[in-house]
Amino acid sequence: MNTVKTLQDIRRTMEDLIGEQVQLRTDKGRKRIIIKEGIVTATYPSLFVVDVGEGSRERMVSFSYADIVTETVIVTLLHGEMPQ
């Protein structure tokens, strides 16, 4: 059950990042990679939410913690260091 422990660790790390500006690198498959910046706004038992400002409109995107484990999404803290 190492994966369960890993998911719990990722969730705790994402909880520590609430209110922080992050960069999201999302692999959409077939060599399509999308990079966006936003602020982590909330964490839930299965997913986390990032507020991504695109131009003049606000947009919220959500990802599961499994996306981080499978490296479909890579989260990078823009200012400071990632919590341990």
CATH architecture of 2-53+60-77: Roll (2.30)
**Helix (DSSP H) and strand (DSSP E) numbers for the chain:** 2, 5
d(CA 84, CA 71): 18
Regions in the chain scoring below 70 on pLDDT? 1-4, 54-56, 81-84
Domains in the chain: boundaries: 2-53+60-77
Residue 1's pLDDT is 46
d(CA 61, CA 28): 14
CA distance between the termini of the chain = 21
| Neighbour-count burial of 39, counting CB atoms closer than 10 A to its CB (0-12 exposed, 13-18 middle, 19+ buried) | middle
